A and B are shown apart, each in its own frame.
Chain A
Amino acid sequence: MYSASDLKKGLKIEIDGDPCMITNFEFSKPGKGQALYRCKIKNLITGNTFDKTYRSVEKVNRCALLSRDYTFSYIDGGNYVFSDNETFEEALLSEELLGDLKHFIVDDMQVEILFHNERALDITLPNFVEMIVAETEPGARGDTATNVMKPAKLENGFEINVPIFINEGDTIRIDTRTGTYADRVAKG
């Protein structure tokens, strides 16, 4: 348990069983009154933010977050299945939770999954992933400008923008944090 005076910006706490983060924090003490800790809080599951004021006598639950290393194994319907690197136990993450990241998950990828109690909250992929371009307009030979972009379909069908010198069969590196092209690794 935290006491109200331990609260600060960025601290993760648990409210009604949900993991939450304090996104804004203000100490307040009206004349002759008690110390109040005014917080803006974000629910890490729903993404909703709300205001809450704690009195100094109030206690706040700690949020037990645990992050573990997993390897991607297969897709089962709408779920992505990962296996724990130590125990080989499987963890299922829904497409919904993965959002756009699902496009950059490849076989045997090493990931980090953040759990609150037994519930997977968030996943961190390696910063870069290598993928093959399956379909794109032919590139202009000799044009190495990186600021002119064209659409390209990746091996899994997902479309991103690449510089015009990229050809079908090229292997490119994608920054998974931004979902954008980073550089070319090999010509196809």
Chain B
Amino acid sequence: MRRIRAFFYERGFSEVETPIRVKTPCMELHIDAEPSGDHFLRTSPEMFHKRLLAHGHEKIFEVGKCFRSGERGPLHHPEYTMIEWYRAQTDYLGILEDTKALIATVWESCSTDWKLIAVSEAFLEHAGWDPAGNYDEDRFDIDLVEKVEPALKAIGGPVVLIDYPVEAAALSRRKPGNPLLAERWELYIDGIELANAYSELTDPAEQRLRFEKCAEHRKALGAAVYPIDEAFLQALETMPPSGGVALGVDRLLMLISGAPSLDQVLPFR
């Protein structure tokens, strides 16, 4: 923890603290917030961080607990520690450089041979189809878990899946010059998903449309629909182009210590 914090302080980031109990959890299709009285526990600090970016804070990071209802397994725990950081005037590739440097600092024996594989390329090679422009959510998720992730594990070391189909963009912006793709990457180390990064979407109109679509979709699935965070949408109007990432600290610890599951790093699980 100390080395993680030192890494960011040395690079001129400000450590921030944002609310853990929130009125409007970030609306994502498959992430469920844990209710807490008339609030929810945050699933990510993302929306507050973007409001800080809009207010002129250019380099921020936060280490804190996030909560996701119903997620429990060898690699999941409903309460976990996330490190999230944002930088203005950069994009997902700038954030990738930060991530490489952070991993090299806190995990000296980790391979520095980072492989970048486009999502389309990985799916064509291991699942026989290209999800870009041809997206099928169920097929994408199942092939990702059954075919692509095992292949990334076989490659070993740090592998970055990059440029997701726009349907799986979440809060990332479209790739300039290719409307089918979004500037998002996910880092896998030894086949374990560790971090998710975006070139942040700063268009409030598109973000509102995505939230509305997501709300409809969640309603159809019978999942809770959260109110739209108007303060966040308003902040996007003045937010500079930025890149950001969320990295699971428990999983990082698990990887560094060579543990096979979170059981070995979370003593109170």
Q: A27-B73, A27-B76 are in contact. Are A32 and B30 (CB under 8 A)?
A: yes
Mask of B139-152 contacts with A, CB within 8 angstroms, 1/0: 01110111001000
Q: A55-B138, A57-B221 are in contact. Are A31 and B186 (CB under 8 A)?
A: yes
Residues of A within 8 A of B144 (CB): 30, 33
Quick check: is A141 within 8 A (CB to CB) of the other chain? Answer: no
Residues of A within 8 A of B163 (CB): none
Quick check: is B170 within 8 A (CB to CB) of the other chain? Answer: yes
Quick check: is B237 within 8 A (CB to CB) of the other chain? Answer: no
B74:A35 contact, CB within 8 angstroms: no
SS class, residues of chain B in contact with chain A: mixed
A51 to B168: give the CA distance in the assembly, Å: 26
Mask of A55-86 contacts with B, CB within 8 angstroms, 1/0: 10100000000000000000000000000000
Residues of A within 8 A of B75 (CB): 28
Most chain-B Cβ atoms within 10 A of its Cβ — which of A29, A38, A55? A29
B72:A36 contact, CB within 8 angstroms: no
Quick check: is B71 within 8 A (CB to CB) of the other chain? Answer: yes
Quick check: is A6 within 8 A (CB to CB) of the other chain? Answer: no
Interchain CB contact (< 8 A) of A38 among B137, B145, B186: B145
Quick check: is B70 within 8 A (CB to CB) of the other chain? Answer: yes
Shortest Cβ distance from B149 into A: residue: A30
A5 to B70: give the CA distance in the assembly, Å: 9
Q: A29-B30, A31-B193 are in contact. Are A36 and B145 (CB under 8 A)?
A: yes
A111 to B41: give the CA distance in the assembly, Å: 55
5-32 of chain A: CB within 8 A of chain B? 5, 26-32
A34 to B76: give the CA distance in the assembly, Å: 13
Quick check: is A53 within 8 A (CB to CB) of the other chain? Answer: yes
A27:B72 contact, CB within 8 angstroms: yes
Chain A min CB distance to B196 (Å): 5
Mask of B116-154 contacts with A, CB within 8 angstroms, 1/0: 000000000000000000000110111011100100000
A30:B196 contact, CB within 8 angstroms: no
B141:A55 contact, CB within 8 angstroms: yes
Quick check: is B79 within 8 A (CB to CB) of the other chain? Answer: no
How many residues on B have C-beta within 8 angstroms of the other chain's C-beta atoms? Answer: 26
The size class of the interface chain A forms with chain B is 10 to 19
Shortest Cβ distance from B246 into A: residue: A31
A27 to B145: give the CA distance in the assembly, Å: 11
Shortest Cβ distance from B71 into A: residue: A29
Residues of A within 8 A of B29 (CB): 32, 34
Shortest Cβ distance from B72 into A: residue: A27
A30:B71 contact, CB within 8 angstroms: no
Tally inter-chain residue pairs, CB-CB below 8 A: 58
Q: A29-B30, A29-B71, A31-B193 are in contact. Are A36 and B142 (CB under 8 A)?
A: yes
Shortest Cβ distance from A30 into B: residue: B144
126-150 of chain A: CB within 8 A of chain B? none
Shortest Cβ distance from B185 into A: residue: A31
Q: A36-B142, A53-B142, A55-B141 are in contact. Are A30 and B193 (CB under 8 A)?
A: yes
B70:A35 contact, CB within 8 angstroms: yes
Q: A27-B76, A28-B145, A38-B145 are in contact. Are A33 and B140 (CB under 8 A)?
A: yes
B221:A53 contact, CB within 8 angstroms: no
A32 to B44: give the CA distance in the assembly, Å: 12
The 5 closest A-B pairs by CB, nearest first: A27-B73, A33-B141, A34-B30, A30-B144, A31-B186
Show 20 residue pairs from A and B whose CB-CB distance is below 8 angstroms, ordered by the A residue: A26-B73, A27-B73, A27-B76, A28-B73, A28-B75, A30-B149, A31-B186, A31-B193, A32-B30, A32-B168, A33-B30, A33-B137, A33-B141, A34-B30, A34-B141, A35-B30, A35-B70, A38-B145, A53-B146, A57-B221
Please give the residue numbers on chain B whose beta carbons come within 8 Å of chain A beta carbons, in ascending order: 28-31, 70-76, 137-138, 140-142, 144-146, 149, 168, 170, 186, 193, 196, 221
Further pairs besides A33-B145, A35-B71, A51-B146: 14, Cβ < 8 Å = A27-B71, A28-B73, A29-B76, A30-B141, A30-B145, A31-B186, A32-B196, A33-B30, A33-B140, A33-B141, A33-B144, A34-B138, A35-B30, A55-B138
